[in-house]
Amino acid sequence: MNQPSSFLSRHSASVFAVRTFAAAMVALSIALLLDMPRPYWAMASVYITSNELTGATSSKAVYRVLGTLIGATGTIVLIPNLVNAPELLSLAMALWAGVFLYFSLIDGTPRSYVFLLSGYTVALLGFPILSTPESTFDIVSTRVQEILLGIACASIASRIVLPRTVADTIAARAEAWLANMRQLTVDVLTGHSSDQEHDGERMRLAAAAAEIDQLSRHLGFETVTSANTVRGLELLRQRMLLLHPLLASIEARKNALISHGGVPPAIADVSLRIASWLANGDQDGQDADRLRAILDEVQPQLATNASWTEISAVGLAVRLRNLIDIMRDCRLLREATADGRDPSSLALALTLDGPEPGARHRDHGLASWAAAATALSVVACCAFWIATGWTDGASAALFAALVGSFLAGQDDPLPAFRKFFGVILVVIVVTGIYTFGILPRVTTFEMLVVALAPTFLLFGWMTARPATGSTGSWLAIFTSVQLALQSSYSADFGAFANSSISLMVGVALTATTCGIVRTLGAAWIANRLVRSNWRTLAAVAGRSSPQDRAAIGSLMQHRLALLAARITVVPAAARSDAANLLQLRTALNIIDVRHASLGLSHAAMAGIDALFNRLASAARTHTAGRLPDELIGRLDDAIASTLREPASKNRSDALIGLSGIRAGLFPAAGSYQPRLSAQGSIAA
């Protein structure tokens, strides 16, 4: 690692704090120079937009511009037309915020920021100008200019002041992820650590993979990263996505063999050799070739009367070869990416389709519920404001939309709101100290910069640290807005008190409303995630969803990452199934078997179709525990029927897939026992 990047890694939080504060001061000074009516919005926009990584800042800037323009358009349409009907206007603004928040929660990618911002910008721009609706266009246009100025300053600063690229960050995290995956693979192959420890490590790896996937969506916004690097990282991410279910499959097949007499000595020996190769960093390509050759030699041939041990051994040998291929591809891609070489020149073992954005879990019911809670919070604040006739009550509705949108993704909103309320109290205290104790003594812009530096450098440093990121960001943004810095000092304690009270009322009413509406919590959400995996398996088995391995793999691993954040409330049985990617492995095996069955006889295809239709029916209503024992008999019949087919690659692939389904769904079942009809054929 070179010296500059080592420096950035050690002091990234401090660098971010200084860079962001400098950009904020530049934005504030330009806004003051141009005599903008609310220059503090330019300063706040810098803190809203900035990210440690250049690509993430650029993408957020683009999305913020789009969201601001959409929200500004909505404000111009709603305010002048509905200002004389406050109840209708309140409802319209609440619905606007709720609908766009729903789209933001459903999207779940960095692009969701467009929808999030589009929703609460109407409240942000609209409520403060209700007393002067005739000036809506002028006020909104100047506010948009102030926001765009802050966005521009944040983007430029992130590119020219010690930039940190998304590509370098992804490469470093992928290296660490693969190192952890290698260690987990070694533990599985050598029998070290317990199943519970393996499950916990899988959960951690799933969460880390989801973070890498999110980061990769910013790559397209980095102009400093070469196309070769971007392509190499995308190909690497594809193969990382395959490793998780592959290792779970290897462990399941190994356990199946152990429970039926043990792993054949030849395959056990090559497993230990693979573990040694991985422990040494999988650097030797010649070792990989030798291991592949050994696997080809020890893989048994399946006769019509093949035993369950032989079928399972073939499946394990094939999956071990897949493991070698993927690990070797990952090594070649990491080296090529580090050197900036074109990945298309590499001799990769796996040929995959072009990388597509990963499929993600979308819970429309949960998103609707959370969005409705925020919309109701805005309505509650508006009702309080209209009923009391409180002039500053509009600010409470503004903060309800803003805070409700930011915290809508929380499983249990009340702890988050309590934490946020503490942040608000700090903001009020800091703002009061500055407004009445420090700013009256500031006479030049240079003195203002010096006065603001300690506080905002601290907030920026907190923003860049994972443990305090959200708190630091909230403190910086809300303090910037509440200070309301202008070209000349003016302070009114009554206005300050009203503004502070409206902020607290908005947060309190939003917390109360969301706490009443959203009472189900993390356990309910985790249960929905578990049921979703079984429904996806049922859809794959019943052919009611596309038979796309990459999309299904990405979808179910995203759910695993979501479950990892709620692992303490997931029931033990469901937790084990999820960590072992049971539903995903079964779905992938179903796809493989269906594809292979196209080369089998009509009778074999009919038996396989009947099996999968019955499995689909059982999975639609299943959540945890053992599936109906009837399926074991159907699986055994399908395996026996396939064994009677002439030897071919399709026959082998179908047997490997069927044995994988059986080992995954029924790990404790005995060896397969086909039920033969009186005519000697396999009963469906």
- Concatenate the DSSP letters of all residues of 176-241 into one string: HHHHHHHHHHHHHHHT-S-HHHHHHHHHHHHHHHHHHHHHHTTGGG-SSS-HHHHHHHHHHHHHHH
Residue 682, beta-bridge partner list = 676
Among candidates 498, 459, 461, 463, which has minimal Cα distance to 480?
A: 459
pTM of this prediction? 0.81
Q: For the residues 401-412, what does the mean pLDDT come to?
A: 81
How many whole angstroms separate alpha carbon 430 and alpha carbon 433?
5
Query: Does residue 627 register a pLDDT over 50?
Result: yes
Angle, helices 308-339 vs 285-298, to 10°: value is 170
Amino acid at 680: G
pLDDT value, residue 365: 84
Asked whether 513 and 373 are in contact (CB, 8 A), the reply is yes
Q: Which two tokens stand for residue 119?
A: 């929703």
Among candidates 215, 205, 214, which has minimal Cα distance to 167?
A: 215
DSSP letter for 682, please.
B
Q: Within 13 Å and on the Cβ side, how many CA atoms surround 142? A: 14
Which is it for the CA torsion 659, 662, 665, 667, positive or negative? negative
Contacts of 59 (CB under 8 A, 6+ apart): 110, 217, 218, 220, 221
pLDDT value, residue 18: 93
Fold of 168-345: Four Helix Bundle (Hemerythrin (Met), subunit A) (1.20.120)
52-84 pLDDT per residue, tens? 888 888 888 888 889 989 999 999 999 888 888
User: Is residue 358 very low, low, confident or very high in pLDDT (cuts 50, 70, 90)?
Assistant: low
pLDDT value, residue 678: 35
Query: Does residue 382 register a pLDDT over 50?
Result: yes
How many whole angstroms separate alpha carbon 188 and alpha carbon 673?
29
Asked whether 607 and 641 are in contact (CB, 8 A), the reply is yes
Indicate the SS3 state at residue 304. coil
How many whole angstroms separate alpha carbon 316 and alpha carbon 249?
8
Query: Does residue 414 register a pLDDT over 80?
Result: no
More confident residue, 165 or 635: 635
Least confident of 122-136, 222-236, 447-461, 556-570: 556-570
* CA distance to 325, 343, 533, per residue, from 348 (Å): 8, 9, 32
Among candidates 659, 655, 631, 660, which has minimal Cα distance to 642?
A: 655
Amino acid at 68: T
Q: For the residues 146-173, what does the mean pLDDT come to?
A: 87
How many whole angstroms separate alpha carbon 348 and alpha carbon 659?
28
Contacts of 516 (CB under 8 A, 6+ apart): none
- What angle is formed at CA 350 by the lines to CA 347 and CA 352, rounded to 5 degrees? 115
Query: Does residue 34 register a pLDDT over 80?
Result: yes
Query: Does residue 492 register a pLDDT over 80?
Result: no
pLDDT value, residue 9: 67
Q: Within 13 Å and on the Cβ side, how many CA atoms surround 30? A: 19
299-322 pLDDT per residue, tens? 888 888 888 888 888 889 999 999
Taking the CA atoms of residue 207, residue 209, residue 210 and residue 216 in that order, the dihedral angle to the nearest 10 degrees is 150
User: Is residue 171 very low, low, confident or very high in pLDDT (cuts 50, 70, 90)?
Assistant: confident
Taking the CA atoms of residue 665, residue 668, residue 670 and residue 676 in that order, the dihedral angle to the nearest 10 degrees is -20
Amino acid at 262: G
Tally the residues of the chain.
Answer: 684
Among candidates 197, 215, 204, which has minimal Cα distance to 53?
A: 215
How many whole angstroms separate alpha carbon 621 and alpha carbon 584?
17
Indicate the SS3 state at residue 442. coil
Domains of the chain: which residue ranges?
A: 3-164+363-519, 168-345, 522-665
> C-alpha 38: how far from its chain's center?
36
365-377 pLDDT per residue, tens? 888 888 988 898 8
The mean pLDDT value of the chain amounts to: 84
User: Is residue 622 very low, low, confident or very high in pLDDT (cuts 50, 70, 90)?
Assistant: confident
User: Is residue 107 very low, low, confident or very high in pLDDT (cuts 50, 70, 90)?
Assistant: confident
Which is it for the CA torsion 427, 34, 221, 163, positive or negative? negative
Among candidates 47, 64, 87, which has minimal Cα distance to 397?
A: 87
More confident residue, 623 or 301: 301
Amino acid at 118: S
- Percentage of the chain beyond pLDDT 90 is 18
Contacts of 301 (CB under 8 A, 6+ apart): 647
Q: Which two tokens stand for residue 462?
A: 């907190």
Among candidates 327, 335, 333, which has minimal Cα distance to 292?
A: 327
User: Is residue 590 very low, low, confident or very high in pLDDT (cuts 50, 70, 90)?
Assistant: very high
Asked whether 132 and 139 are in contact (CB, 8 A), the reply is yes
Cβ neighbours, 10 Å, residue 402: 25
Q: Which two tokens stand for residue 124?
A: 């942000």
Asked whether 479 and 499 are in contact (CB, 8 A), the reply is no
* CA distance to 191, 212, 371, 459, per residue, from 409 (Å): 39, 20, 9, 23
* CA distance to 324, 420, 540, 600, per residue, from 459 (Å): 47, 15, 49, 65
- The gap between the terminal CA atoms of the chain, to the nearest Å, is 61
How many whole angstroms separate alpha carbon 353 and alpha carbon 351?
7
